[in-house]
Every structure is written in C-alpha cells, then in structure tokens.
Amino acid sequence: MVMRVLIIGATSAIAAEVARAYARVGARLYLIARDPARLGALVDELDVAVDGHACADLRELDEAESRVAAAIERLGAIDVALIAHGELTDQLASESELEVALAGIEINFTSVVALAIPLANYFEARGEGHFGVITSVAGERGRPRNYTYGAAKGGLTRYLEGLRSRLLRRGVFVHNLVLGPVDTPMTRDHEKSRLFAQPRPVAAAIVRALGRRRHRVYVPGIWRWIMLVVRNLPEPIFQRLSFLSGRP
C-alpha cells in the first residue's frame, strides 16, 4: 500500500530531507510551507511524489483546520503527519519586549496546537496513523540562553504527552521527536560543536521513528543520555555550571 504523508513546515532543512526520504520509497506527499519559492523548488524536485501542496502562514490560526482538511481531501487519507515548523526566538529581545516573547510562543507552540487539534481528531476517527511533532532538547530545562523558546517547546512536550495517552487506545501513535542542535540555516549564527548533527541523518532517524511505536525519540540518540543528566541536576549545581546556565 502506498503511504500518504503530510509534512507541515516542509521547506526547513530537516523537513525537506524527510520529504526526500519518503519520496524515495514511493510515498505520496502533501507539503505545506511558508516560502513560495522554496516550496516550489522542492515540489519541482520531488515531481510526481507530490500529490498536493499549499503555501501558508501558519500563524493564521483560524486557517489550520481548513489546511488539514485540504490535505486529507487531496490525499484521500493520511497515514503519517509531521509538524516540523518553528523558529528560534531572540532570547534577549523576548526578555524586554512582550511582542517578541508572544510571537515566539505563537509560532513554536500555539500554531502547532492549532494544527494538532484537527489532525488528532482525524486520526482518532480513523483509528490508526502516526502523528509526529518536532520539539527540542531546549524544552527539557530552562536555560538563560533560550528559555522563551524552551518554554514553548516544553509546553508542547506536555501537550503531546496528553495527546498520546488520549489516542493510543485508538491505534494512533503520537511521536515527540526531540532534536538536539542541527546544522541548518536556523542555527547559522550559533557556534558549532561536535554535538551539532547534519539534516540528512536527522531526517532518516525521524522517518524511522514515524514507522515505529516509539513515543519519545531523541535525535541523535545520544541526547537521551545527555538530557537525562541535565534534567536531573539539582538547581544549585545546575546554576554553577556556566556551560549550562550561562549566557552564550
């Protein structure tokens, strides 16, 4: 049976590699992204694998349900859905400008929830499917360098936990894809270390996770053990470790 896949935020470096991976195995794709030029280029590249696509500003929350409905109508059904959009928040600006903080929360949390509601209801009614959302290790513990962004991703993790428990008995698998830092345009201004992963292997790990029953997947896997330590450090110790609690 041909797999039918919806990818939201499809032109990010990671999501585009996910789309390519699914195209290679013959999946039918519906792609949603914000940038029309980049979306058009990806659609042209993937050619017949793309059944449909839409350009959308995902901050238009009242359009979320109709965008999901359009994808379902075009594909006939959705077997796998991946929400992959998000933006790094300017941490320093968010500490003094409420508008910046709210914009970061909206794109990284609220806009995802707006899409998750119709997708969850669809999968619940269908009684099967895989629904993945990209989150971040930044959501595991508040750090001065990115706590506004981390708060949005942490809230999203809690939301996915509840959604997963709600849908599991219906045969629907909700995947929290917890990414460590990846060398993409979104992190172009960050100093790179050996812990930075590359988009293609990250995408391959995401595709594997979306075909299995694992609920919380760290990508790359080493972050599972790193964050186990970071999450459980007592606050006084955490605050003394400048590489964790310091500014960039």
**Cα(8)–Cα(18) distance, rounded to whole angstroms?**
11
**Cα(60)–Cα(68) distance, rounded to whole angstroms?**
13
DSSP 18-55: HHHHHHHTT-EEEEEES-HHHHHHHHHHHGGGEEEEEE
Q: What is the pLDDT of residue 190?
A: 62
Instruction: Report pLDDT digits (tens) over 183-241.
Output: 877 766 666 667 788 999 999 999 999 999 889 999 999 999 999 999 999 999 988 88
- Mean pLDDT of the 39-43 span: 97
CA distances 247 to 73, 146, 167, 185, 241, Å, are: 47, 9, 39, 21, 11
State which amino acid sits at residue 92: L
**The two structure tokens encoding residue 154:** 């942490």
pTM metric for this prediction: 0.94
**Cα(64)–Cα(124) distance, rounded to whole angstroms?**
17
At residue 136, φ and ψ (nearest 5 deg) are -155, 150
Q: What is the pLDDT of residue 184?
A: 74
For residue 185, the SS3 value is helix
Q: What is the pLDDT of residue 192?
A: 60
Q: What is the DSSP letter of 192?
A: P
Check whether domain 4-245 has CATH 3.40.50.720, yes or no: yes
Instruction: Report pLDDT digits (tens) over 82-105.
Output: 999 999 999 999 999 999 999 999
Given the structure tokens 């992204």, which residue do they identify?
Answer: 33
Strand-pairing partners, residue 136, are 179
